Chains A and B, each alone.
Chain A
Amino acid sequence: MALKFVPRATMVAASIALLTASFASGCSSDNGGNPLDENLTGRGPITYVEGKDTTETGVVKQLIDRWNAAHPDEQVTFKEQSADANQQRDDLAEHFRAKQDGYDVVALDVPWTAEFAAKGWIQPLKDSFAIDTAPLLAPTVASATYNGTLYAAPRNTNGGLLYYRTDLVPNPPRTWTEMLGQCQIARDNNIGCYAGQLAPYEGLTVNTSEVINAFGGSFVGADGKTPTVNSPESKAGLKVLVDAYQNGDIPKEAITFKEGESASAFESGNLLFLRNWPYLYGQANADGSAVKDKFGVAPLPGNTGVGASTLGGYNAAISAFSKNKATAADFVRYLISEEAQQIIAAGALPSVRASLYDDPALIAKMPYLPALKESIASAVPRPVTPFYPAVSKAIQDNAYAALNGTKSVDDAVAGMQKGIETAGS
């Protein structure tokens, strides 16, 4: 039995190991000529690629149906990816690395834009591809700009909001000091005071950068490479978060919170203040939520006034390998038009056009719009760098170490600086 089995087992072992090894293999072929200069005037059917559409109104289908009705010769097909951001990114990167022309317009999560631009995978929006950015919210345009050039059109944005219990706190706090000063109310009611998303993942990068930005700190310089995080401002910002965690104002379990866990803690009435995205509003006001009609939203707290939200959302970019770039450019322009942005806003995705935040019909449907407008107006894009995954990792790992007490705040900020310095290698 052993004699028969051992060689087979060796084969199994070897093939498993070989499969592991082949994980990282990709393709690279060069066929000369810069794809960024080709097919600039091509017109015809195109494919639009985006992650799974989870809006109740089916935003993408509405957008495409309306476009297709008006452009019978330049039909758009929707290629729907999975709902997971990492899988979306891997799919796009694989496609572009192989220089395939199957994707014409792609939706990029805000922090990917710089890397895709620096790799030459997406078309700069200048000359014949230029778009009118005047009606768009300034931070959303900044999030799509790399090295002084606009590479994508902001499609929808997203900003952090402070959810608070109106039955316990009548007026929302504007600063961290004010907010933490009200933690006694939480203690009296035997609930947690404040929480965000502090598990070691992208959410922690977002929460950390919000508090560091709010106190005047920053991460990388304009070139997307020079680290600027090691400053007294950054340390002051991180210290507020870490102190609040260590003295219990932020409950102990918040270090395991992602969006979902933090949302359910608030919905079950166990938190006084919560930082989360606008999507939670409808959910927390639904039947079955313990805080239905008992909460309000405000912009995030800051140092001396309104804080700095980290910008979420998606940008629409034209693939460098598209055959029909002229059509793709028209479609990108259509996505930021008043008409298309109305559809997007009605789907509860925050619009990139400033004017829609004052639309009374939309405010009636989404009462959080004024707070969100204020939040996004003072928002800061995540570090715009082609090495975003490494920079984000440096931020979250060090912030996590500071929160759980294995590193001092000063060491954590110095660690972020060093991590960003080595991000390019």
Chain B
Amino acid sequence: MSDPSGPKQRGLALELQRSGKAWLFITPVLVALAVVIGYPVFQAIWMSFQQDAGIDPATGMFVEGGSAGLSNYTHWLLQQCNSLGGTISCPTGTLGSQFWSAVWVTLFFTVVTVSLEALLGLGMAIVMGKTFRGRALLRAAVLIPWAIPTAVTARLWEFMFQADGVVNRVLGTDILWTSDVWASRFAVIMADVWKTTPFMALLILAGLQVIPNDVYEAAKVDGASAWQRFVHITLPLLKPALLVAILFRTMDALRMYDLPAIMTLGNPATNTLSILVVDQVRQGPNSAAALSTITFLLVFGIAFVLVKVLGANAVRTQEEQRKAA
């Protein structure tokens, strides 16, 4: 006797039953996420369309501003400030005037630090991947900069980069590392690279370790040089791990706050978007909400592009490998 519904239908029913159960299990998490992530995000977006409270000249007291339309966004993107005589272009010394420079500084820090960290991390990972005496010790020692809290790292480098600090004394210079435009950017990049290269190295090392040794053996037998083995075996097989490491660090660098905030405090040359958001929260929460929404869109956009472009690439590489095998 065969089942009247047939094997196909039965499979579908099973599938439905299974997915129903899945929903049952997923729902609590979704609700929790909606409460802890969804609510604040929508609150922030809603706030970004409200005007910040202003002073009622008659009483000298703050009154709620009402709906703002897009003015909080144009304030940042077009750098328009309200003045006594109407809307003007934001003058120096207002946070509004620093938006595009903050975007630029943030992207600059991200590109430079992530590239340096990827290169140095790769080098460190290759060294750590070799077998030699004291390897365990080296692997532990390398992690120390990453284990130190960022705020402490920032203070440490701040002391070293002081006008009479160790850096100037060693180099015999009198560069103002925390106040010159490019010197201060360099100082922040130095500190960030020192702090996070070990993390990068560790992620890459994990990727290195899964490459089977016999692939290299085979290549050696076929007469491939060390450079050829690196370019044609190590790099392609490492790509997925490298991609994850770069993605993580990019996200991290885009929200950089503590290093420049502590090391170069207030110096406009190193003000990142996160610093601008925190400063603005103290002046007006609604336009800060607009700024953080813009930041969110920027970070999300970059993450999306990275995953799409680099992710697709990594997947294809694996597919090609499978075909080749």
> CB within 8 Å of B: which residues of A?
1-3, 5-6, 9-10, 12-18, 20-26, 86, 89-90, 93, 118-120, 146-147, 199-201, 223-225, 252-253, 255-256, 258, 261, 386-387, 389-390, 393-398, 400-401, 404, 407, 415-416, 418-419, 421-425
Contacts and interface: CB of A to CB of B under 8 A. Distances in A.
Given A14-B300, A256-B176, A419-B91, A25 B266 contact: no
Interface in B263-279: 265-268, 274, 277-279
B314 A2 contact: yes
20 contacts: A2-B318, A6-B307, A9-B303, A10-B307, A20-B296, A21-B40, A24-B285, A200-B266, A225-B57, A253-B163, A256-B176, A390-B95, A398-B92, A398-B93, A400-B268, A418-B93, A419-B91, A419-B92, A424-B55, A424-B82
Interface string B76-92: 00000111110010111
B176 A253 contact: yes
Interface in B285-318: 285-286, 288-289, 291-293, 295-296, 299-300, 303-304, 307, 311, 314-315, 318
B162 interface: yes
Contacts of B322: none
Contacts of B94: 390, 393-394, 419, 422-423
Contacts of A146: 60
A86 B275 CA distance: 13
A393 B95 contact: yes
A393 B93 contact: yes
B248 interface: yes
A253 B299 contact: no
Nearest to B54: A424
Given A9-B244, A425-B54, 6 more contacts: A17-B295, A22-B37, A25-B40, A25-B41, A253-B176, A419-B93
Nearest to B36: A22
B248 A9 contact: yes
Nearest to A5: B244
A1 B314 CA distance: 9
Q: How large is the interface on B (under 10, 10 to 19, 20 to 34, 35 or more residues)?
A: 35 or more
B15 interface: no
Contacts of A394: 91, 93-94
A2 B318 CA distance: 8
10 residue pairs, one from A and one from B, having the closest CB atoms: A253-B163, A425-B82, A22-B40, A13-B303, A147-B60, A397-B93, A200-B266, A418-B91, A419-B93, A394-B93
A415 B251 contact: no
A290 B92 CA distance: 41
Contacts of B85: 421
A278 B141 CA distance: 45
Contacts of B53: 119
A24 B60 contact: no
Contacts of A18: 37, 40-41, 296
Given A5-B240, A17-B296, A24-B289, A200 B283 contact: no
A189 to B, nearest CB: 17
Contacts of B26: none
User: Secondary structure at chain A's binding surface: helix, strand, loop or mixed?
Assistant: helix
Given A16-B299, A396-B266, A21 B307 contact: no
A415 B81 CA distance: 14
A119 B41 CA distance: 25
B31 interface: no
Contacts of B60: 118, 146-147, 223-224, 386
A24 B292 contact: yes
Interface of B: 37, 40-41, 43-45, 47, 52-55, 57, 60-62, 75, 81-85, 88, 90-96, 162-164, 174, 176, 178-179, 207, 210, 239-241, 243-244, 247-248, 251, 255, 265-268, 274, 277-283, 285-286, 288-289, 291-293, 295-296, 299-300, 303-304, 307, 311, 314-315, 318
A418 B291 CA distance: 22
A199 B266 contact: yes
Contacts of B277: 20, 23-24
Contacts of A223: 57, 60
A10 to B, nearest CB: 6
Contact of A401 (B92, B95, B293): B92
Contacts of B266: 199-201, 396, 400
A225 B41 CA distance: 33
A25 B44 contact: yes
Contacts of B96: 422
Contacts of B244: 2, 5, 9
A425 B75 contact: yes
Given A390-B94, A422-B94, A20 B255 contact: yes
B268 A397 contact: yes
A17 B299 contact: yes
A18 B293 CA distance: 9
A13 to B, nearest CB: 4
B274 A17 contact: no
Contacts of A400: 266, 268
B162 A261 contact: yes
B61 A120 contact: yes
B61 to A, nearest CB: 5
A6 B292 contact: no
Contacts of B315: 2-3
B62 A422 contact: no
Contacts of B41: 18, 21-22, 25
Given A9-B248, A20-B274, A425 B81 contact: yes
A78 to B, nearest CB: 25
A401 B91 CA distance: 13
B176 A255 contact: yes
B181 to A, nearest CB: 9
Given A5-B244, A200-B266, A253-B176, A415 B255 contact: no
B90 A24 contact: no
A422 B303 contact: no
A86 B75 CA distance: 25
B84 to A, nearest CB: 5
A421 to B, nearest CB: 5
B299 A252 contact: no
A255 B175 CA distance: 12
A199 B163 CA distance: 12
